[in-house]
Chains A and B, each alone.
Chain A
Amino acid sequence: MNSKSSPSGPCPHRAKFTRRFLRALARINKDRPTSSSHHEIRKRSRKIKIAADASMAYAVGSGRAWSRVMLWKLRNRTRYRAWIWSRVIASTRKRIDKGSKQGGELSRTDQLRQLVPGGEAMDFCNLLDEAAHYIKCLTTQVQVMRNIADFYFT
């Protein structure tokens, strides 16, 4: 199995991401309680996912719109949790209303906007650009995480 399966080659942020992620993993596992209940596992998996996204965003830096948005979200997450939660509720409500008005299904463009961080505020052309870079980085992230997971299960 070739880990470099993507035609565009390895992401240039791979090494940085790996280092950051491993450090974050170590930090998370440092304070791991011995009990591995489902609840604990779920909490930890959420933390790990956030750590993975954060390290990827840090590795990419501010050069990309989606990484900027992600970093901003992560930074504000700790401080303005309540505010973010209210925004999420408002946006979902808006989306529901919009959906019901239009008859349900979001258009493909809107779906893509929801998936790519920061996609709501971009024009279609830039959205495609950011989506391409985001897919590349996500692929790298998945590869590295899979390698690490395999590493610990053999």
Chain B
Amino acid sequence: MERITSPGSRSGSCRDDKQFDGEIEGLMTEDDLQEAAVVPVTESTFTALLGLPANQAIELLHETESVKSPEIPTADIWKDSQEDQRTFSYPFNCSLTFPTNAALVERAARFSVFASAQDSPERCSIPSISSENSPKLKAEPANSESNRSSSPILSSSPTIPKQNQKSAKRKEREKVKGSVKKSKYVENGNKDGEKLPYVHVRARRGQATDSHSLAERARREKINARMKLLQELVPGCSKISGTALVLDEIINHVQSLQRQVELLSMRLAAVNPRIEFSFDSLLAAESGCLSTGSFPSTLTIEPMMWSELQFNGERRQQHQNQHQQLWEVDLLQPPVWERENYNNYHPSENSVFSYNSSAESVSMHSNQLKMEL
């Protein structure tokens, strides 16, 4: 694998880019300039990068795929700050020929993600160290979150075409979207094509992180939460696992409930008309159910009391009534007789409604009466 090109080629390309030299002249010493071997990162001269120390090459890759990078000075400073020079071999274990822009960018993206990982391997620490050491150079720190600042830096150099910003944005997107903090690197299947807004999400380990899958995951979680609620509502559903079966159960339950409503309405329709719908007693029964919760007891009492009063016309239960507060009975009794004539029904209703609280206490007493009976 060709890793190290001849120095001749390096210098040759250096001479080609005088303007690039001019840019970085203010930033580095003459020695460094020559040392840096200012090499435009073009496709054709990519192999020239191999002549540089590896860390410099990384930065170059980060910056552009086709234009000279202003980060070369920083690379130099890295070199100064570093004791040992990286071998050429380490980042270039893979193929060194980058025939297309896309491949180059992908590589740059990969390196950038490596750089931004906190527990990154040693090679990624290089850019971080460099970022600390070269703040004033406004070099794009490889692992900083302020990648957006790099775009103004990039735009400052007039010669840099749009592609520069494009690649930087792509890299930033990779860094922001990448599940970098906690997880190991997961190649994001080249999302470079889409220009998505920045999504500050922390994806879980090993999960895709583009906004589509995130939105889908949020939606799925919502649906799962609601399925859990439904499972609690429907009896016998909590043991079932699997959405389809749970849905089946839910459908069956709803159908059975609707059938029950129909049956009950049939039953109510068939109720013997002899028993008048004593509204107040029903209300008492229902409110008794609400207040006490022990509904059946009130049910058994009420009909005995009221129906007998209605049909027999005698107060057989009078001794039971006496157990209640008399004023309740007196107030409730007259409406019973009036109920024969529905014309007076509504006025009696109103009077009954105002005694709703009394109706509740009636039912409470009827609970005690049940025990007596």
Q: Which residues of A contact B (CB under 8 A)?
A: 1-4, 6-8, 10, 14-15, 18-19, 22-23, 25-26, 29-30, 32, 34, 36, 41-42, 44-49, 52-53, 108-109, 111-112, 115-116, 124-125, 128-129, 131-132, 134-136, 138-139, 141-142, 144-154
Contacts and interface: CB of A to CB of B under 8 A. Distances in A.
Contact of B270 (A3, A36, A150): A36
Contacts of A30: 342, 345
A18 B265 contact: no
What DSSP secondary structure best describes chain A's contact surface?
helix
17 contacts: A1-B296, A4-B293, A7-B232, A42-B266, A49-B261, A49-B262, A52-B261, A108-B251, A112-B251, A115-B258, A135-B253, A135-B257, A138-B261, A142-B260, A147-B299, A151-B282, A152-B272
Q: Kindly state the interface size class of chain B when it binds its partner.
A: 35 or more
A25 B286 CA distance: 14
A109 B247 contact: yes
A131 B293 contact: no
- The prevalent SS among residues of B at the interface is helix
Interface stretch (B7-15, B57-65, B218-226): B218-226
B88 interface: no
Contact of A10 (B226, B290, B302, B303): B290
B230 A49 contact: no
A136 B289 contact: no
Interface stretch (B108-116, B158-166, B273-281): B273-281
B285 interface: yes
Interface string B189-210: 0000000000000000000000
Given A108-B244, A108-B247, A152-B277, 20 more contacts: A10-B290, A22-B277, A22-B279, A25-B268, A26-B277, A26-B345, A29-B277, A41-B269, A45-B262, A46-B265, A52-B261, A108-B248, A128-B227, A129-B226, A136-B233, A141-B261, A145-B264, A145-B265, A149-B267, A151-B285
B255 interface: yes
A145 B244 contact: no
A125 B223 contact: yes
